[in-house]
Amino acid sequence: MLQSDTNRPKLLSVPDALTIARIVRVNHAGEFGAIRIYSAQILVSGWFWPDCVPALSEMLEDERRHCALFREAMPIRKSRPCRVMRFWSYGGWLLGFLTALVGRQGIWACTAAVEAAVHRHLDDQLYFLKGRDPELSGIVLSIREEEIAHLRYAEERLVSPNAVHRSLRFAISAATDSLIWLSTWGDSTRMARVLRASRR
Ligand SMILES: [Fe+2]
Ligand SMILES: [Fe+2]
């Protein structure tokens, strides 16, 4: 497939172009979900945990910028937002709302679990994108820095992780992966398979 952007490889195979389109779609959905999670947490924190609001608001601004970057990256890669953004909208909001009701530890356990899942996905993607799509690789790299900062901030605030925190993180991780899978109709699984194969 011929690409017009000089910052991108001249030739991409059809399967590679498809995987790149999926990467952008999954990432855009994930950032949208993060916006919904943080929005609900900010709402609840405003009632019960106001000290958490400034950090959550900063993270929300980061997620909004990430979401816009992936949206802008879509047209040239023949990608579109996933068809069922409402999964992200309701699912993300509910996840944020419920974890914030648990308290500060619920908020930071949720942030740590979600950001760790995102970080894992981005790492796999960077390996695949290197040499195939330098422009998108650069975008993912810069976003990953901010996701790591979110993860560190949350982890620093988690008091000695006990069994309850570990279970909560595990449940949130599973919920995040399920949301990604549902909202992309399995695109995330197909994408992960290709990314794994590219590492061999
Ligand atoms: Fe993000
Ligand atoms: Fe984040």
Assign 3-class secondary structure to the chain.
CECCCCCCCCECCHHHHHHHHHHHHHHHHHHHHHHHHHHHHHHHHHHHCHHHHHHHHHHHHHHHHHHHHHHHHCHHHCCCCCCCHHHHHHHHHHHHHHHHHHCHHHHHHHHHHHHHHHHHHHHHHHHHHCCCCHHHHHHHHHHHHHHHHHHHHHHHHCCCCCHHHHHHHHHHHHHHHHHHHHHCCCHHHHHHHHHHHHHC
Task: Tell me whether residue 20 is in a domain.
Answer: yes
Residues with CB under 5 A from ligand 2 (ion): 147, 150
| Per-residue pLDDT in tens (0 to 9) along the chain, 200 residues | 444 455 554 578 888 898 899 889 889 988 998 999 999 999 999 999 999 999 999 999 999 999 999 999 999 999 999 877 887 788 899 999 999 999 999 999 999 988 888 888 888 888 889 889 999 999 999 999 999 999 999 999 987 667 777 788 888 888 777 776 766 666 667 767 777 777 66
- 1 within some domain: no
Q: How far is the CA of 44 from the centre of ligand 1 (A)?
A: 21
| Per-residue confidence (pLDDT) for residue 184, from 0 to 100 | 61
Q: Would residue 118 count as lying in a domain?
A: yes
3 in a domain, yes or no?
no
In a domain, 50, yes or no: yes
**Domain span holding position 36:** 10-198
Ligand 2 centroid–CA 62 distance in Å is 7
The pTM is what?
0.86
Domain count across the chain: 1
How many A from CA of 20 to the centre of ligand 1? Answer: 18
Q: What is the CATH number of the domain that holds 24?
A: 1.20.1260.10
Question: What's the CA-to-centroid distance between 45 and ligand 1, angstroms?
Answer: 20
Ligand 2 centroid from CA 59, angstroms: 6
5, part of any domain: no
Q: In this structure, is residue 2 part of a structural domain?
A: no
21, part of any domain: yes
